[in-house]
């Protein structure tokens, strides 16, 4: 599958391109300045497209109609959010992320359904997480390495279900949610909403079981 289109880049974006290619993804990069492509590593095998990242024809040339994900990481917040919205709303790309400089806009963007990564914490790992949401992203581990706080990707099938159902299915404890860019301390009866990021505490050795439960979705009554 092809993924993703992107506008502009830094050294971290070059790392991002390499990471995606190493996972078997096909990458297309868009930039208004054709000379900027010289910053890419010589072994970059993806497509280079000169143009504006939110222009429909440019996006089509970059293969967005076949894309699985899109990252808007230019130097302009407005350009990034426009490009991300075009990818999501015009081309139906599900996994979209926008880089922002003004962290005060993060909540606004999140309400528009666009996950954001602020410049102060912009890394290839953070972008990768939004483009290919799967598995576990470890955020903290105790000195023994046994207990972890981690963000775990959740199947869309869990949306509308209470966190207690998620905990009972996985054996993990939901420590917090990131909702619309804000951290919240949920109750067991809190209902998971679209766009929520789930952070859990768990035994590190149990992470595969937790990932499987989160990815599988709830088991309906009568299923085995």
C-alpha–C-alpha distance, residues 104 and 74, integer Å: 18
Q: What is the predicted pLDDT for the residue at 103?
A: 67
Mind giving me the DSSP string for 21-87?
A: HHTT-B-EEEES-GGGGGGS-TT--SEEEES-TT-HHHHHHTTGGGBSEEEE-SS-HHHHHHHHHII
0.75 cut: is pTM over it? no
Tens digits of residue pLDDT in 1-24: 333 444 444 466 777 888 888 888
Helices (H) and strands (E) in the chain, counts: 7, 11
- The answer to whether the CB of 58 falls within 8 A of the CB of 79 is no
Using one digit for the tens of pLDDT, what is the confidence trace for 143-158?
Answer: 788 999 988 989 889 9
Alpha carbon separation from 24 to 60, 71, 133, 215 (Å, rounded): 21, 17, 15, 21
Residues of the chain with pLDDT under 50: 1-10, 224
| Contacts (Cβ under 8 Å, ≥6 apart) of 199 | 139, 149, 150, 151, 152, 174, 175, 176, 177, 178
């Amino acid at each position: 599958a092809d993924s993703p289109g992107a506008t502009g880049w830094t050294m971290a974006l070059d790392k991002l391109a390499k990471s995606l290619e190493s996972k078997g993804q096909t990458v297309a990069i868009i930039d208004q300045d054709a000379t900027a492509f010289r910053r890419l590593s010589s072994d970059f095998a993806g497509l280079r497209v000169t143009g504006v990242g939110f222009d429909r024809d440019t996006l089509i040339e970059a293969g967005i109609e076949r894309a699985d994900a899109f990252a808007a990481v230019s130097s302009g917040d407005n350009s990034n959010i426009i490009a991300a919205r075009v990818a999501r709303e015009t081309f139906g790309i599900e996994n979209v992320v926008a880089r922002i400089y003004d962290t005060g806009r993060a909540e606004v963007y999140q309400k528009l359904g666009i996950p954001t990564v602020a410049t102060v914490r912009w890394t290839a790992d953070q972008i990768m997480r939004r483009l290919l949401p799967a598995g576990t992203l470890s955020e903290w581990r105790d000195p023994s390495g046994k207990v972890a706080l981690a963000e775990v990707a959740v199947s869309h099938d869990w949306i509308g279900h209470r966190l207690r159902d998620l905990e009972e299915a996985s054996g993990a404890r939901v420590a917090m949610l990131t909702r619309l860019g804000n951290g919240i301390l949920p109750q067991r009866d809190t209902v998971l909403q679209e766009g929520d990021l789930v952070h859990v505490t768990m035994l590190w050795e149990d992470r595969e079981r937790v990932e499987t439960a989160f990815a599988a979705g709830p088991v309906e009554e009568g299923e085995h």
